[in-house]
């Protein structure tokens, strides 16, 4: 089938088939998406609400704990100072730190009175029925004990009551001290405008008198304050004088003040239930959860002051899911906070609860699922309606697109394929070896640009092929210049190899028989500066010089001195040079002699040492100075188990991505780990270690290693 027909068919398939598939499947997919979106939003809302509710109750628990500690601290201050007041009598002086020096005018006190007690009828005949400027004294003498306090002595202790109320006005509704004699003190005082001497028999706000033998504060369950109608918690502490409990001091704390943070729960729902609960055992020993107080909805500040109501009858909290409710009770028993999803009054709900406090009371917030997921249901309905409308519009667009694509595909396929056929013929000519091939396409579009690049590519392609062929020949020639096999010497295992980073390289190694003593063998390793073709050409020349000079007698130093003169003539204008190290082995004596020409020293590995033994020596690189001289170093005995290593700096100067060098210390560790392997395997192990260290697919420098192992 011609390409023009294939292109036409492809365009039709690419356009029509997906569009038809979208048309048939879009409604089901979009409706499914709508359900998934609704489900995800529903799940997310439930999870978010659960997390937020739990955070709220835990925050309330922390705030409640902090405020409870504040109240208990105030109780301890009151108890301590009342004890000192009773013991010291007229000598009592209140510490200045407990005296509030801030002036509060009458108008400010009146505003606080209105805010705290919320009653306009606390003012009678121009005088306040509740007054912040007095401590109310109730005689209430029972006649069963000596009087403990005297009414006229309250002036000394009054600043303490006033300071505590002013410093914590929201946590203090009434402060009262009750004594076993029947006497009592109450702040603020309930006054009818009488003088202090006339107030002794006036009734005071009724606060529970709790006498405790221990010195720890105790808290009551929620109850109604008879004067203000507010739900309060009463904190009490014993007053101990000379080791005997003579009474108790108490603070009535408004429950709505402690739990004022609940006022923003309307962000979740207006139907949320806020309860104070207390787990306990019933008559038959079964664990139950009693509701001790419940939040009553309020719409303004006045009703908000009465938003918490204590239970007037015994009310038990329950759920139809007995398993989850048992888990809920177990968590309360363990003193933990948490979130549980279970029915409440027959409807699925989220229960968030705080850990019980010292009295065993917890705050529970119960939010109905329906209130949480209502936005998700509304969103799902909206998305469904939008999807239906979009489907109708999409169907019309699909029909129009199919028609348009079909017409355009038919009209353009012939014109497009015509130029492709011309390019195809040009490619066939190049494939047959006709590098004179050209295509004639004058279009100003991408196909025309492709034709221009095709015509420019042909000469470059021919040139690259010629260069590649020349490089292949050069690679083969250079490969043949290096030893094709390792020499066999009794008692020794020898292997060398070079790996170039480009097609051609400047590294060189060789095995050369000594002209004087044919039993001796010379190991030569060199490294030409640079890479590629220039380095390879110089390497080939130097190899020839070294081999030619080795046919005559002379020490290693004399050989390199003569070679250096020839190299200097070649490199005087190019500034190239070659470093070289040559080591001669006398296998009969196991003796080494060597000479260096600017190259790194040859290395001797001995597993008994912690680092290499280096065959040091002086000598400048070949080609640097024409008249340079080189001295032969002698001698080193190569013992059994020792390994001679000659290499180029591409090994120890190989670097990783962090710029760290491979180094000779790491090379020593690699050789130590593979010292018992053959020389060939040891060389491959070194190459693999360098490659793994650099982490690169292409090496950055030529690598050459020659290993001479003396067998045990």
- pLDDT in the model for residue 604: 95
Secondary structure (DSSP) of 242-258? TTEEEEEEEEEEEHHHH
CA distance 196 to 205: 17
Residue 525 has pLDDT above 80, yes or no: yes
- pLDDT in the model for residue 2: 59
Q: Does 664 or 129 have the greater pLDDT score?
A: 664
Residue 559 has pLDDT above 90, yes or no: yes
CA distance 54 to 453: 69
C-alpha of 237 from chain center: 50
Q: To which H or E segment does residue 16 belong?
A: helix 3-88
CA distance 467 to 486: 32
Residue 244 has pLDDT above 80, yes or no: yes
Residue found by looking up tokens 């109708």 in the block: 392
Q: Cα-atom radius of gyration of the chain, to the nearest Å?
A: 51
CA distance 44 to 50: 10
pLDDT tens digits along 635-669: 899 999 899 999 999 999 999 989 899 999 999 99
Q: For residue 382, what pLDDT band results from cuts at 50, 70 and 90? A: confident
Please report the sign of the dihedral spanned by the C-alpha atoms of residue 35, residue 41, residue 45, residue 47: positive
Instruction: Return the number of other C-beta atoms located less than 10 Å from residue 40's C-beta.
Output: 11
- pLDDT in the model for residue 249: 92
Strands 643-647 and 703-710: antiparallel
CA distance 21 to 26: 8
Burial class (CB within 10 angstroms; exposed 0-12, middle 13-18, buried 19+) of 102? exposed
Residue 17 has pLDDT above 90, yes or no: no
Mean pLDDT, rounded, of the chain:
79
Is 235 in contact with 71 (CB distance < 8 Å)?
Answer: yes
Strands (E), 575-694: 578-586, 591-597, 602-605, 613-615, 633-637, 643-647
Is 73 in contact with 133 (CB distance < 8 Å)?
Answer: no
CATH architecture of 482-710: 4-Layer Sandwich (3.60)
Residue 145 has pLDDT above 70, yes or no: no
Residue 12 has pLDDT above 80, yes or no: no
CA distance 578 to 529: 6
Q: Which of 146-150, 279-283, 479-483, 586-590 has the lowest mean pLDDT?
A: 146-150
Is 596 in contact with 618 (CB distance < 8 Å)?
Answer: yes
Burial class (CB within 10 angstroms; exposed 0-12, middle 13-18, buried 19+) of 396? exposed
Residue 204 has pLDDT above 50, yes or no: no
Q: To which H or E segment does residue 535 belong?
A: helix 532-549
CA distance 234 to 75: 11
pLDDT tens digits along 367-381: 887 777 777 777 777
CA distance 599 to 614: 12
Q: For residue 124, what pLDDT band results from cuts at 50, 70 and 90? A: very low
Is 292 in contact with 277 (CB distance < 8 Å)?
Answer: yes
Could you give the 3-state DSSP secondary structure of residue 91? helix
Q: For residue 679, what pLDDT band results from cuts at 50, 70 and 90? A: very high
Residue 408's closest CA among 2, 12, 51, 1?
Answer: 12
Residue 7 has pLDDT above 70, yes or no: no
Mean pLDDT of 265-276: 71
Could you give the 3-state DSSP secondary structure of residue 94? coil
CA distance 41 to 665: 61
Residue 300 has pLDDT above 50, yes or no: no
CA distance 298 to 660: 73
Helix axes 154-167, 3-88, angle to 10 degrees: 180
Is 598 in contact with 621 (CB distance < 8 Å)?
Answer: yes
Q: Which two tokens stand for residue 453?
A: 């690049």
Could you give the 3-state DSSP secondary structure of residue 124? strand
Is 86 in contact with 249 (CB distance < 8 Å)?
Answer: no
Q: Which of 100-104, 490-494, 502-506, 675-679 has the lowest mean pLDDT?
A: 100-104
In Å, the largest CA–CA distance within the chain is 140
Is 249 in contact with 175 (CB distance < 8 Å)?
Answer: yes
Is 339 in contact with 54 (CB distance < 8 Å)?
Answer: yes
Residue 602's closest CA among 614, 584, 617, 612?
Answer: 614
Residues in CB range of 305: below 8 A, 6 or more apart:
118, 228, 230, 254, 256, 298
First to last CA, the chain: 73
Secondary structure (DSSP) of 336-363? --EEEEEEETTEEEEEEEPPP-TTS-EE
CA distance 529 to 542: 13
Percent pLDDT > 90 in the chain is 21
Strands 578-586 and 521-528: antiparallel
Residue 214's closest CA among 171, 251, 245, 257?
Answer: 245
Q: In this structure, what DSSP letter does residue 655 have? A: B
CA distance 477 to 272: 91
Q: Which two tokens stand for residue 408?
A: 């355009």
pLDDT tens digits along 391-404: 777 777 777 776 77
Mean pLDDT of 454-478: 67
Residue 100 has pLDDT above 60, yes or no: yes
CA distance 57 to 13: 61
- pLDDT in the model for residue 435: 63
CA distance 11 to 16: 8
Please report the sign of the dihedral spanned by the C-alpha atoms of residue 75, residue 76, residue 81, residue 86: positive
Alpha-carbon distances, residue 47 vs 34, 42, 341, 346 (angstroms): 20, 9, 10, 21
CA distance 57 to 363: 7
Please report the sign of the dihedral spanned by the C-alpha atoms of residue 395, residue 401, residue 403, residue 405: negative
C-alpha of 328 from chain center: 33
Phi then psi dihedrals of residue 566, to 5 deg: -65, -40
Is 686 in contact with 651 (CB distance < 8 Å)?
Answer: yes
CA distance 22 to 702: 58
Q: In this structure, what DSSP letter does residue 541 have? A: H
Which residues of the chain are in CATH 3.60.40.10 domains? 482-710
Alpha-helix residue ranges (DSSP H) falling in 239-318: 255-258, 301-304
Please report the sign of the dihedral spanned by the C-alpha atoms of residue 6, residue 7, residue 12, residue 13: positive
Residue 136 has pLDDT above 90, yes or no: no
Is 273 in contact with 294 (CB distance < 8 Å)?
Answer: yes
Q: Which two tokens stand for residue 151?
A: 């009414």
């Amino acid at each position: 089938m011609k390409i023009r027909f294939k292109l036409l068919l492809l365009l039709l398939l690419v356009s029509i088939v997906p569009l038809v598939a979208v048309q048939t499947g879009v409604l089901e997919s979009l409706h499914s998406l709508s359900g998934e979106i609704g489900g995800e939003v529903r799940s997310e809302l439930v999870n978010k609400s659960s997390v937020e509710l739990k955070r709220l109750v835990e925050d309330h628990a922390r705030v409640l704990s902090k405020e409870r500690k504040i109240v208990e601290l105030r109780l301890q201050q009151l108890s301590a100072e009342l004890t000192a007041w009773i013991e010291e009598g007229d000598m009592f002086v209140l510490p200045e730190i407990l005296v509030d020096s801030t002036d509060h005018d009458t108008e400010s006190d009146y505003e606080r009175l209105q805010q705290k007690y919320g009653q306009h009828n606390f003012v009678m005949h121009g005088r306040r029925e509740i007054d912040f400027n007095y401590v109310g004294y109730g005689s209430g003498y029972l006649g069963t004990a000596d009087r403990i306090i005297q009414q006229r002595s309250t002036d000394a202790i009054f600043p303490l009551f006033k300071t505590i109320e002013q410093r914590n006005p929201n946590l203090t509704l009434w402060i009262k001290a009750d004594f076993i004699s029947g006497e009592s003190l109450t702040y603020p005082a309930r006054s009818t405008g009488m003088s202090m001497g006339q107030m002794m028999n006036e009734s005071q706000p009724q606060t529970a008198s709790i006498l405790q033998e221990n010195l720890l504060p105790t808290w009551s369950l929620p109850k109604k304050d008879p004067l203000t109608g507010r739900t309060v918690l009463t904190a009490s502490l014993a007053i101990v004088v000379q080791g005997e409990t003579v009474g108790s001091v108490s603070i009535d704390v408004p429950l709505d003040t402690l739990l004022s943070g609940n006022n923003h729960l309307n962000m979740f729902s207006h139907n949320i239930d806020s309860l104070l609960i207390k787990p306990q055992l019933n008559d038959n020993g079964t664990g139950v959860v009693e509701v001790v107080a419940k939040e009553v909805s309020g719409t303004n500040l006045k009703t908000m002051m009465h938003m918490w109501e204590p239970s007037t009858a015994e009310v038990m909290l329950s759920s139809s899911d007995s398993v989850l409710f048992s888990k809920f009770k177990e968590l309360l028993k363990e003193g933990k906070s948490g979130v549980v999803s279970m029915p409440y009054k027959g409807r699925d709900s989220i229960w968030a609860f705080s850990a019980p406090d010292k009295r065993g009371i917890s705050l529970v917030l119960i939010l109905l699922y329906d209130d949480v997921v209502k936005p998700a249901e509304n969103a799902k309905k909206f998305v469904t309606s939008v999807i239906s409308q979009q489907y109708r519009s999409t169907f019309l667009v699909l029909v129009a697109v199919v028609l348009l694509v079909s017409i355009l595909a038919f009209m353009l396929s012939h014109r497009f394929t015509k130029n492709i056929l011309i390019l195809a013929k040009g490619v066939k000519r190049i494939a047959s070896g006709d590098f004179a091939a050209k295509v004639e396409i004058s279009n100003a579009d991408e196909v025309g640009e492709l034709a221009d690049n095709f015509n420019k590519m042909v000469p470059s392609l021919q040139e690259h092929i010629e260069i590649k062929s020349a490089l292949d020949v050069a690679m083969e020639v250079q490969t043949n210049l290096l030893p094709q096999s390792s020499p066999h010497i009794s008692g020794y295992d020898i292997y060398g190899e070079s790996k170039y980073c480009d097609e051609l390289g400047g590294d060189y190694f060789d095995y050369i028989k000594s002209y004087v003593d044919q039993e001796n063998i010379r190991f030569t390793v060199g490294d030409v500066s640079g890479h590629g073709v220039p380095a390879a050409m110089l390497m080939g020349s130097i190899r020839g010089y070294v081999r030619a000079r080795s046919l005559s007698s002379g020490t290693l130093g004399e050989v390199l001195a003569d070679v250096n003169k020839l190299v200097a003539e070649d490199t005087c204008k190019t500034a190239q040079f070659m470093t070289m190290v040559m080591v001669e082995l006398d296998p009969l004596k196991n003796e080494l002699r060597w000479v260096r020409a600017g190259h790194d020293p040859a290395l001797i590995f001995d597993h008994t040492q912690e680092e290499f033994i280096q065959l040091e020596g002086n000598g400048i690189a070949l080609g640097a100075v024409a008249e340079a001289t080189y001295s032969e170093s002698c001698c080193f005995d190569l013992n059994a188990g020792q390994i001679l290593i000659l290499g180029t700096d591409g090994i120890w100067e190989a670097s990783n991505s962090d710029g760290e060098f491979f180094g000779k210390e790491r090379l020593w560790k690699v050789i130590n780990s593979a010292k018992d392997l053959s020389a060939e395997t040891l060389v491959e192990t070194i190459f693999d270690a360098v490659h793994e260290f650099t982490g690169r697919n292409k090496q950055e420098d030529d690598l050459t290693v020659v290993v001479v192992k003396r067998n045990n």
